[in-house]
Amino acid sequence: MTAFTLDQLLAVLDSNLDRDIHIDVPLDASIADVPFDQLGFDSLTLFNTANDIGAEVGANFTFDEVMSSSTPSALVGLVNAKLP
């Protein structure tokens, strides 16, 4: 894989059933710098999502790394930094 993209992350997030249904923010490129908690994702959901992505791309993330990636663009940057 050459690079993990925001579009790939959005596809994963869009399929996530653990998103708070009371938050009605569309998951599109405009949310790149919006904190995950404002998008309806809690820390456990975010960590599980990152681990799923890591398993797909062959990367491992610590809990602290994931928690410091508080926005979609930051998480994309983390994934790309860890690509083999």
Q: What is the pLDDT, as a whole number, of residue 39? A: 93
Spatial neighbors of 68 by CB under 8 A, at least 6 apart, are 74
Q: Which pLDDT does position 1 carry in this prediction? A: 63
| Residue range 64-84, pLDDT digits in tens | 999 999 999 999 999 999 998
Q: Output helix, strand, coil percentages for the chain, rounded to the nearest 5.
A: 55, 0, 45
Cβ burial of 73 (10 Å; 0-12, 13-18, 19+) is: middle
Instruction: Note whether 24 and 80 are within 8 A (CB).
Output: no
pTM above threshold 0.85: yes
Using one digit for the tens of pLDDT, what is the confidence trace for 20-49?
888 888 899 999 999 999 999 999 889 989
Instruction: For the chain, give every domain's residue range.
Output: 1-11+35-84
Residue 19 has pLDDT above 90, yes or no: no
Q: What's the chain's Rg over C-alpha atoms?
A: 12
